[in-house]
Amino acid sequence: MATLELQNLQAEVAETGEEILRGVDLEVKNGEIHALMGPNGSGKSTTAKVIAGHPAYEVTDGSVTLTLSEADVADIDADVDEEDLTWNLLDLEPNERAALGIFLAFQYPAEIEGVTMVNFLRQALNAKLDEREELFEDEDEEAEAESEKDEGYETSPMEGPADDGDVGVAEFQQLLKEKMELLDMDKKFAERYLNAGFSGGEKKQNEVLQAAILEPSIAVLDEIDSGLDIDRLQDVSKGINALRDEQDTGILQITHYQRILDYVEPDYVHIMLDGKVVKSGGAELAEKLEDEGYDWVREEAYETA
């Protein structure tokens, strides 16, 4: 079982030194759904970006660790020692964190004309698999792999490589078909350019599809419900539940509202205030927030302090 653990995580804006996170403690395991709630400016999105390794933030104290199980590394084509199962994510680049099983869904996904969904997703999957193997290679294997590194595409970048990477074109097409069926998505989605001309709901569905393809251990979904009408909210929620139920992915669902939690029932709800998690509980906590707002949480938190 993979476990993401934040201990006393403190972070500031790199450019200005503004302190945002003041000691976040949180633990998410695969197969669990955690909702992280809080008013604007409480540090929810910063927490997500720090987990993923966003360069705009500097960690000033605390830790972010990912502990994998032997089952989580069964795909690795090398012997993995027990000491290699626990990783300090703060020592790793964002692509290395992603390769180990961390996924961050963007709140505002970028639109990229000229890159088809199918090419983007296949390249992302192969890049993850390559990086993952390198992380677990010993020094001799790493040197050998470096000497054999691909020197670039022989075909046009617009077309993508003919059949480079662990997952070839035909194999990926089958995988994509299975994942789109799992998420109940229109097959025409894959033929379009990445997010170009997509509605807000379609972009969020695309984020879930990426998570389905990459099969992360822990997916951090930053306000994936923002701007969705009721039909798209149900579609996206169905996809999130499929990630948990079919892939055993752990979900850290950042949200302002109870409405998505009507469809994606959390195992745990956490409330952030002023850069800290000040209260945790079950799904009933989100329902109380919906009815009463945050004043009672502030009163409890500041009385305790």
List of the chain residues with pLDDT < 70: 138-164, 304-305
d(CA 7, CA 23): 7
How high is the pLDDT of residue 157? 47
How high is the pLDDT of residue 281? 96
Contacts of residue 200, defined as CB under 8 A and 6 or more positions apart, other chains included, come to 226, 227, 228, 232
Beta bridge partners of 34: 252, 268
Of 102, 59, 67, 99, the residue nearest 83 (C-alpha): 67
DSSP state of 73: G
d(CA 132, CA 127): 8
Beta bridge partners of 148: none
pLDDT digits (tens, 9 = 90+) for 231-253: 999 999 999 999 999 999 999 99
How high is the pLDDT of residue 144? 62
